[in-house]
Amino acid sequence: MRTCQDRELQTKTLIVCFFSKVLAQVSCELVSPKPNRPTEGVLFFNLELSPMAAPGLEPGRQSELLVSLNRLLERCLRDSKCIDTESLCVVAGEKVWQIRLDMHLLNHDGNITDAASIAGIVALCHFRRPDVSVQGEEVTVYTPEERDPVPLSIHHMPICVTFAFFHQGTYLLVDPSEREERVMDGLLVIAMNKHREICTIQSSGVVMLVQDQILRCSKITAVKVAEITELIQKALENDHKARKEGGKFGFAESIPNQRITAFKMESAAVDTNNVEEQAGEIIAKADPPSEVFANPILHTPGTAQIGEGIENSWGDLEESEKEEAAEEEGESEAAAFECQKTETEDANMMKETKEDEPILLSDSEEEEVVILEPQEVPRKTRTQTSTKPENTSKKAFNKRRRKKRTSR
């Protein structure tokens, strides 16, 4: 939702628009109540930050920013008792309505809290739950065609207003943008309704605020909340009137006028008169196509272009590149010619040898041929061959010992 807010910097006031966009959706379901509150319905709030809104946001991760925003929205919408939870009870202790509010950040340009609180309260005010009847122990839920849906019982509309402080509280700024939030010293969020009742207040940062600053922020909040509440009520009345009269209404009708994820662009007019004449002139001025090559084209030995079609001019080369390519082609042709010469000479030599000399096997070919015989060598020969060197070595050793003894 887009709204305009004032920014105050000491005594000056600037009117700008913030472009943080939040999509809110409300759904309901019959569930069992909590044991400690059997006659009250259940409220559930969830805010999701995705990379679609800003590149720095990660999906499926509970960051500190997301946790603080969810807690602040719960205090603003649930703890302020803006919705009558007892009206959501169907059968005490057995069946109650669970209202679920899902909010998705579409574009992050700063001040997510204000945008989420406005989108959430507007979605709750616009939501209608199915009508229910109870007869004994039977609970009947009617469709919108059978009975008109029932709106939620909302006592008041709490809206958050955010203030940013700079230079240790010297400068005050309402509705900070994403760049201003990076350099601010402190933050103050006040949730208030049009009856000037403060629903919640939260301060964060490294700035110390005095009583006069908080009172000044509360007065500004009262003015801003009254303006935003009036805009919300007018939008709800226009939607209700359009539904009764059968006009255009709903979320789908707002997409063509206000783009959600893209900038708005004006439609460009296209002249469709004399299209055939203009097309004929363009074709006449165009260059004729090149010749069709029906036969295969041999660029270099071993390559060929097969098939019919117009020659492709995508790979046209410059003059220097063409010269280099021509030199390379000449070298490749010369090398191919030499290879052909050597191959023909080898073939002629083989023919001459086949006609004149008989073919003989070389020693290497004979060594490669191995014949495996199943016969085993007898054991006697093995023992004889193994004992002979042992006996000779023993005899030599004994002779040496005898010589040493005689010398002594």
For residues 305 and 293, give the distance between their C-alpha atoms in angstroms, rounded to a whole number: 9
| CATH no., domain 4-254 | 3.30.230.70
Closest CA to 23 of 231, 230, 260: 260
Six-digit token string for 222: 């009262």
CB-based contact 108:182 (threshold 8 Å) = no
First to last CA, the chain: 122
Report pLDDT digits (tens) over 40-65.
Answer: 999 999 998 888 888 888 877 778 88
What are the φ/ψ torsions at residue 199 (nearest 5 degrees)? -90, -40
Instruction: Measure Cα distances from 60 to 25, 55, 100, 123 in Å.
Output: 19, 14, 19, 24
CB-based contact 311:293 (threshold 8 Å) = yes
CA 406 to chain centroid: 102
For residues 115 and 259, give the distance between their C-alpha atoms in angstroms, rounded to a whole number: 17
| Predicted local confidence at residue 392, as pLDDT | 60
Domain coordinates in residue numbering, the chain: 4-254
Q: What is the DSSP letter of 196?
A: -
Half-sphere exposure of 256 (CA within 13 A, CB side): 5
Give strand pairing partners of 91.
95
For residues 169 and 188, give the distance between their C-alpha atoms in angstroms, rounded to a whole number: 11
Q: What is the DSSP letter of 109?
A: S
Residues of the chain with pLDDT under 70: 1-18, 249-268, 288-326, 329-334, 337, 339, 341, 345-395, 404-408
For residues 280 and 380, give the distance between their C-alpha atoms in angstroms, rounded to a whole number: 107
Pairing of strands 21-31, 95-107: antiparallel
For residues 341 and 106, give the distance between their C-alpha atoms in angstroms, rounded to a whole number: 74
For residues 185 and 169, give the distance between their C-alpha atoms in angstroms, rounded to a whole number: 8
| Predicted local confidence at residue 115, as pLDDT | 92
Looking up tokens 């920014």, which residue turns up? 7
| Predicted local confidence at residue 130, as pLDDT | 92
Report pLDDT digits (tens) over 11-41.
Answer: 232 333 347 889 899 999 999 999 899 999 9
| Predicted local confidence at residue 198, as pLDDT | 92
Pairing of strands 95-107, 42-48: parallel
- Per DSSP, helices labelled H in 5-111 are 64-77
- The dihedral over CA atoms of 57, 61, 64, 66, expressed in degrees to the nearest 10, equals 70
Q: How many CB atoms lie within 10 A of CB 202?
A: 17
| Predicted local confidence at residue 369, as pLDDT | 55
CA 408 to chain centroid: 101
Supply the pTM of this predicted model.
0.58
CB-based contact 327:300 (threshold 8 Å) = no
Q: Please, what's the largest Cα pairwise distance for the chain?
A: 143
CB-based contact 41:96 (threshold 8 Å) = yes
Query: Going by C-beta distance under 8 Å and a sequence separation of 6 or more, which residues neighbour residue 345?
Result: none
Pairing of strands 128-129, 150-151: antiparallel
**Taken in order 59, 62, 68, 71, is the CA torsion positive or negative?**
positive
CB-based contact 116:53 (threshold 8 Å) = no
Q: How many CB atoms lie within 10 A of CB 270?
A: 5
